[in-house]
Chain A
Amino acid sequence: MTSLASPDNTVIEISQLTTRFGDHVVHAGLDLVVRRAEIFALVGGSGSGKSTLLREIILLQQPESGSIKVLGVDLENISDAAALALRQRWGVMFQSGGLFGSLTIRENVGLPLREHTGLSDTLINEISEWKLAMAGLDPEVGAQYPSELSGGMMKRASLARALALDPELLFLDEPTAGLDPESADEIDQLIRKLRDLFGLSIVIITHDLDLLWQVTDRVAVLADGKVQGIGTMAELSGIDLPATRKFFDGPRGRAAQQQAAAPNHQQDRMK
């Protein structure tokens, strides 16, 4: 979408990553590659280090050793200026929104534009409202404060803010958690639309089996500080590993798989 594309086809490259909290080892020599314009999901049980990995990728936390390269930039010993430039090339949607309570929704979405570009207020307001519409929110919502919104609307508003600067890379932390099935379906479609229209690379942390089957291109299963399996959901369902089996066995796993196996039915449901 922009000319800032790095030459190769990789957006995130992690090698031999180690993270430790005291004696507790979170990542033990983890390797991972995310390609351009793919929808990539990180799954794993509670405490498997998904969120820590995300925080390390988006420069909120330092790993103990190992290297992380995002959009061709090595995060180790990154200068402040380079970090700032890099931060404007990705967008993050936090699990509980991370919206600023003292600003209206429109101001929240417009904040990255106001802070980092020289655009006029009128234009920023127009663009913020349009991004809100793109995330599926009514224009009236723009004047409200985050505390007045429902959980689903908060997620959408947070997504709209993540998209404000037209990032190349989008991180979504539990985008469908706590949503009703209809809103979750709409988020699924929105994620796919963003990738198809703008060629975004999207990294998702999720437990939502429907989202995993319907939307993702590749999935990495994290357990014991390493990536246990990586591939499409169909490929992973064939692997016999305890960490991955948890996602396919059990009534929920099977139901989501059957749903995905009947694409026509799915199309009808979405219409």
Chain B
Amino acid sequence: MTLIPVAPAEITRTSSQELAVSGSWTAHGIGQIETQLEALSASFGSTMVIDASRIEAFDTTGAWVMEKLRRRLFCDSIVIEIIYLQPDFAKLLEVVGQEVSRQAGTGKQAASEPPTRLTSLGLGAAAAFEQGMALLGFVGECTLTLGRCLARPSCLRWRPILYNIRSAGFDALPIVGILALLLGIVVAYQGADQLRQYGANIFVADLVGLSMLREFAPLITAIIVAGRSGSAYAAQIGTMAVTEEIDAMRTIGIAPLELLVLPKIFAMIIVLPLLTVFADVLGVLGGMLMARAQLAVSYAEFLDRFVKTVSVTAYLIGIGKAPVFAVIIVTIGCFQGFRTHGGPDSVGRQTTRSVVQSIFLVIVADALFSVAFSALDL
């Protein structure tokens, strides 16, 4: 808070029926005497004289405070007489008085009470339910549009699909590669100490190979893509919703889902498995580097063991999860984008929500996969 230096407003009681006021009765100067004014009172039915000759400045805030004091005391049948107020200030006070009367006529609105804990719990549950239903509706709508498009492949839009393949896939190669490499290094490094104790150095290939191919590579790729592309989808569609571009699209006769959602889904279904393969390669490479540096397992030994222990099934399980993650990421990103209403700050909120929810759902789906695969003995 920054205060402009002004002579603060002051109020002094010169006798039981007289007040002397001075200083700046402005928004900047009145703060100090607010409580003093509230405590002010006099005997019932008396007259109080306010000497206003030494007021230096007077604005609507000062006039408002003065008028409020007059009204409050009037309720106790105390009449206030303001003397020696400068003509300009008196005019202002009169105007404010009129405004206050007019506003009093319109009636004060009831102050809204903060909701109780139970109410907010109920409201939260209702909102979550509503959002769940809306998501279900959105999935249904997308499925219908997809069906229509597959029936008439001419309405597939290749240009946005190719564009999305580049922006969500090719452009993400460096970050996915670096993180997968680091993850491989970390897994091998953490395992190295344990394996060395048992002299089971060569098992580092099992450790890195299985964990990267089955779990880490698909998961880290999906999380990076959710943060990178899912959020971009939500922001893009949200901004379009705020600037009425979506409505314009509908009036021109283009289905927004067909132009904005389907190409992203197709592109992501193609791209995410490919990115996962890339992450597999670099993750294993990271593990290999660490195996040689820490455990003296040469590249040839590592690869020999890798081929023996890591089955094709493990590799396919990892790749197979990727399209499911792709659908989750695109659906949530676009869904939150379409739910943007109101102003620009709503875009930010929906974008955040899309990232949090898509990462959450990706991990939930991964857990479900693990349960299913262990039941199927894969």
Contact = CB atoms under 8 A, between A and B. Distances in A.
Contacts of A165: 27
Given A133-B99, A139-B108, A3 B56 contact: yes
A183 to B, nearest CB: 20
Given A146-B343, A147-B342, A166-B61, A119 B31 contact: yes
Nearest to A102: B345
A143 interface: yes
A130 interface: yes
B96 to A, nearest CB: 8
Contacts of B58: 1-2
A118 B31 CA distance: 5
A147 B242 CA distance: 10
Interface in A187-241: 197-199
Contacts of A127: 27, 60-61, 64
Interface residues of A, number: 38
Question: A1, A120, A131 — which one has the most chain B CB atoms within 10 A of its CB?
Answer: A1
Contacts of A148: 342
A140 interface: yes
A117 B35 CA distance: 15
Contacts of A139: 103, 106, 108-109
A116 B3 contact: yes
A54 interface: no
B64 A130 contact: yes
Given A84-B2, A134-B99, A166-B26, A120 B34 contact: yes
A255 interface: no
B4 A88 contact: yes
A262 interface: no
B290 to A, nearest CB: 48
A145 interface: yes
Contacts of A197: 91-92, 95
Interface in B63-77: 64-65, 68
A1 B1 contact: no
Nearest to A117: B27
Question: A84, A115, A123, A131 — which one has the most chain B CB atoms within 10 A of its CB?
Answer: A123
Contacts of A138: 106
A218 B118 CA distance: 61
A25 interface: no
A119 B345 contact: no
A78 interface: no
Contacts of B100: 130
A117 to B, nearest CB: 5
B345 A140 contact: no
B57 A3 contact: yes
Contacts of A169: none
Nearest to B37: A123
Contacts of A166: 26-27, 59-61
B57 A4 contact: yes
A2 B342 contact: no
A138 B108 CA distance: 11
B344 interface: yes
B112 interface: yes
Interface string B29-71: 0111011000000000000000000001111110011001000
A3 B54 CA distance: 12
B99 A130 contact: yes
B152 interface: no
22 contacts: A1-B88, A2-B26, A2-B58, A84-B2, A88-B4, A101-B342, A101-B345, A116-B27, A118-B32, A119-B31, A119-B34, A120-B34, A127-B61, A130-B100, A133-B99, A138-B106, A140-B109, A143-B109, A165-B27, A166-B60, A198-B92, A199-B88
**A-B CB proximity, top 8 nearest:** A118-B31, A147-B342, A147-B343, A166-B59, A101-B343, A101-B345, A2-B57, A3-B57
Interface of B: 1-4, 24, 26-28, 30-32, 34-35, 56-61, 64-65, 68, 88, 91-92, 95, 99-100, 102-103, 106, 108-109, 112, 341-346
Given A113-B61, A120-B35, A197-B95, 11 more contacts: A2-B24, A2-B58, A3-B24, A85-B4, A117-B61, A130-B99, A138-B106, A139-B109, A147-B346, A166-B61, A197-B91
